[in-house]
Amino acid sequence: MISAGEFRNGMTIEIDNNVCQIVEFQHVKPGKGAAFVRTKLKDVKNGGVVERTFRPTEKFPQARIDRKDMQYLYSDGDLFNFMDTESYEQIALDKNTVGDALKFVKENEMVKVCSHNGNVFAIEPPLFVELEITNTEPGFKGDTATGATKPATVETGAQVSVPLFVNNGDKIKIDTRTGEYLSRV
C-alpha cells in the first residue's frame, strides 16, 4: 500500500477498481487547514486524464503492470496477432485494444504488450522506428524557407511531416510517441 504522501510521477496505483498512472503530483501545504496532494491521474485502460486531490494519509494498492516483449506478426481484419518469442504462444487483440499504437510498426517487429492481472490493455511500440518513404511530393529548389515541411506517407501507411529534401525511397527515423521526423538513415 502506498500513501498519497509517497506519490511519484509514473507510479501506477489502483483507485476505485481502476488502474491509474500518476502523470503529475503536487504536495500542497496551505497556510490554514490540512495539507493535501493534488494529482493528475491517467486511466491506463481508456486513456482518460482526471485531476483529484487526496489527504496525504490515504493509502492505495500499487498496481502491477506486466510489460512483455512480443513480436507483431500480422493483422487479420480487425484482429492483430502477436507472438511471445520465448514460448511461441500467440495472442490476437482487437482494434479497440491496439488503437493507433501500430501506426509506425511493420510486421515482425518487437512491441511491448502491457497487461494488468492478465488483461491486455495497451501496446507500446518501440520509441524510434526506421521506415521508408513510399509517397511524397518532390521539393522545389528555392522553396526552402526555414523549417519548411511537406507531407509524406511511410511504408506502414501513416502520414508524417518531413523536410523538403526527403524523397521517395529514403529511409527515415521517426519518434513513435509524437509521430515526428527525426533524421534520414
What are the structural domain ranges in the chain? 2-60, 66-124, 128-184
| Whole-number pLDDT of residue 144 | 59
Distance, in Å, from the CA atom of 40 to the CA atom of 10, rounded to the nearest integer, reads: 11
| Whole-number pLDDT of residue 39 | 92
Cβ neighbourhood burial of 159 (10 Å; 0-12, 13-18, 19+): exposed
CATH architecture of 66-124: Beta Barrel (2.40)
pLDDT band, very low/low/confident/very high, at 38 (cuts 50, 70, 90): very high
| Whole-number pLDDT of residue 143 | 58
What percent of the chain shows pLDDT beyond 70?
Answer: 96
Could you give the C-alpha distances from 171 to 34, 74, 131, in angstroms and in order? 57, 22, 5
What rounded mean pLDDT belongs to the chain?
Answer: 85
Q: Decide if domain 2-60 falls under CATH 2.30.30.30.
A: yes
Residue 45 has pLDDT above 80, yes or no: no
- Same fold for the domain at 2-60 and the one at 66-124? no
CATH number for the domain running over 128-184: 2.40.50.140
pTM (two decimals)? 0.69
| Whole-number pLDDT of residue 122 | 78
**In this predicted model, what pLDDT tens digit does every residue of 134-154 receive, in sequence order?**
988 887 666 555 677 888 999
| Whole-number pLDDT of residue 141 | 63
Please identify which residue in the block is written with the cell numbers 494529482.
39
Q: Which of 18-22, 58-62, 96-100 shows the highest mean pLDDT?
A: 58-62
Q: Report, as an integer, the average pLDDT of 38-44.
A: 87
